[in-house]
Amino acid sequence: MNDIDAWVWWLVVAAALGIPLVVTAMPEFGMFAVGAVAAAIASGFGAGLVVQVLVFVVVSVALIAVVRPIASRHRSQRPQLASGIDALKGRQAVVLERVDGSGGRIKLAGEIWSARALDSGRTYEAGQEVDVVEIEGATAIVM
């Protein structure tokens, strides 16, 4: 394998590593693919096989050592912008029909929702403002 062909083989390796990246969604394969591209660049500049392999190993390990912890930290964080029912928790609503432990109706975010009091012994009358504590199915739990 001469130097001209070596960079082509490194690009083939990079493409081959890209396939399991797409199929398995394991980002480590992408980091190895970037290492192979770096080795192809080294080969293109005339580096020997030992240097090419060292470039591949160093770039791949560096990416895994640096990018993987950052990615796992971001994956474990909750999103800053709440959406869906999570966005409704903690909001205020207006009681439309008496709400107690067995049910009632509220107006929440411009929509009419069925509601139930968090404390089953508590009653909220029409016109009162309540706080949404939880959403269970299509029912808002209020206090």
pLDDT at 2: 52
pLDDT at 15: 92
C-alpha span between 89 and 86 (Å, rounded)? 6
pLDDT at 24: 85
Q: Which residues are registered as beta bridge partners of 140?
A: 115, 135
Global confidence as pTM:
0.52
Rg (CA), the chain: 29
C-alpha span between 49 and 27 (Å, rounded)? 26
User: Helices 27-44 and 49-76 meet at what angle, rounded to 10?
Assistant: 150
Query: Per-10-residue mean pLDDT for the chain, 143 residues long?
Result: 74 91 85 94 92 95 91 76 80 94 92 92 93 91 92
Question: How many Cβ atoms sit within 10 Å of the Cβ of residue 133?
Answer: 13
pLDDT at 105: 96
pLDDT at 3: 47
